[in-house]
Amino acid sequence: MSLVINHNMMAANATRNLSNSYGKLAVSTRRLSSGLRVGTSSDDAAGLAVRELMRANIASLNQGVRNANDAVSMIQTADGALGVIDEKLIRMKELATQAATGTYTSDQRLIIDSEYQAMSSEITRIAKSTDFNGIYLLNGNLSGTTHSGTGLVPTGKLKVHFGNNNYSASDYYYVQINSATASSLGVGQGAGAGKAGRSISTQDLAQKALSALNKAIVSKDKIRANLGALQNRLSNTVQNLQIQAENLQSAESQISDVDVATEMTEFTRQQILTQSAVAMLGQANNLPKMAQQLLG
């Protein structure tokens, strides 16, 4: 190589190597400081695309866990109210048994019936007032066999969505709760004229009411049993969703997170190369001075 003064090729070569090493050092610094192997699309374009889809699914699964837990809370609210209704029905049967015996007068049966009707009214009040986040649970609004979410207010059975997509086999199912009002259970004045459980004001009506109350208790128990099964199913769904989210998070970590040991090795290597390039650039910049000695 000739000794020239117009072009310092050794300095240019050292500058290029310095720029390359310094750029890689900057990348290692960014990765180590952020903890991410894939921070920009230039790091791994395909990996970035896969990672973002995984992150979206992880966020969706975590929200699905919250959705399912909200549904469990809703079911617990309904079941708690049905537990109170259960006590009212038991008291009504006790009153019907009391009124069915012949040792009470008609006036006394009317007094007993007044409490019977009060219990019936309380059952209806509980059923119509029990709500979760503004959604009434026991008044029959959720008893429909079909669901429609096309309007601002969904109708029919309640849809619990917890999956990433919209497939009925894996992403959602429905919660259907039958009405638990006194009229639906067939007891009290709301049961309608001629119904066996309408009144216990006479001995005959009281005896007939016992059978109606048994049916009412069974109907209420069916609602509670259905809710219990749904709660268990939702609890299992929560566990499954948490496992899915955990495994997906692990897979996303393999793509996205930096291996600190490996990257620290690369950082040290590029740091040494950068320092060497800086030193050699300084030496290369001094080489043209040799020409001055020949000129001088």
Q: Whole-angstrom Cα distance, residue 82 to residue 75?
A: 10
- Residue 138 backbone dihedrals phi, psi, to 5 degrees: -115, 10
pLDDT (tens digit, 9 = 90+) per residue, 83-121? 999 999 999 999 999 999 999 999 999 999 999 999 999
230: exposed, middle or buried (Cβ count in 10 Å: 0-12, 13-18, 19+): buried
* pLDDT cut 90: percent of the chain above it: 74
Residue whose entry in the numeric block shows the structure tokens 């007032």: 129
Residue 75 has pLDDT above 70, yes or no: yes
Question: Which H, E and C letters describe 4-62, residue by residue?
Answer: CCCCCHHHHHHHHHHHHHHHHHHHHHHHHHHCECCCCCCCCHHHHHHHHHHHHHHHHHH
pLDDT of amino acid 294: 74
Rounded to the nearest angstrom, the gap between the alpha carbon of residue 153 and the centroid of all alpha carbons in its chain is 21
pLDDT (tens digit, 9 = 90+) per residue, 239-259? 999 999 999 999 999 999 899
Higher-confidence residue of 172 and 291: namely 172
pLDDT of amino acid 291: 72
- Please tell me whether residue 240 adopts helix, strand or coil conformation: helix
The token pair that represents 133 in the structure block? 């986040």
Rounded to the nearest angstrom, the gap between the alpha carbon of residue 216 and the centroid of all alpha carbons in its chain is 35
pLDDT of amino acid 107: 95
The mean pLDDT value of the chain amounts to 92
CA-to-CA separations, 117 to 9, 81, 112, 236, 239, in angstroms, rounded: 105, 19, 9, 41, 45
CA-to-CA separations, 173 to 71, 199, 232, in angstroms, rounded: 11, 40, 13
Residue whose entry in the numeric block shows the structure tokens 């049916």: 215
Least confident range from 123-127, 157-161, 165-169: namely 165-169
Residue whose entry in the numeric block shows the structure tokens 């969904």: 154
124 touches 164 (CB < 8 A): no
Higher-confidence residue of 136 and 40: namely 136
pLDDT (tens digit, 9 = 90+) per residue, 21-62? 989 999 899 989 989 899 888 888 998 899 999 999 999 999
* pLDDT cut 70: percent of the chain above it: 99
pLDDT band of 289, cuts 50, 70, 90: confident
pLDDT of amino acid 236: 95
The mean pLDDT of 152-162, rounded to a whole number, is 94
Best CA proximity match to 200, nearest among 84, 83, 82, 120:
120
pLDDT (tens digit, 9 = 90+) per residue, 187-234? 998 887 778 999 999 999 999 999 999 999 999 999 999 999 999 999
Residue 296 has pLDDT above 90, yes or no: no
Residue 295 has pLDDT above 80, yes or no: no
Identify the DSSP state of 1.
-
For residue 246, what are the contacts with CB-CB under 8 A and spacing of at least 6? Answer: none
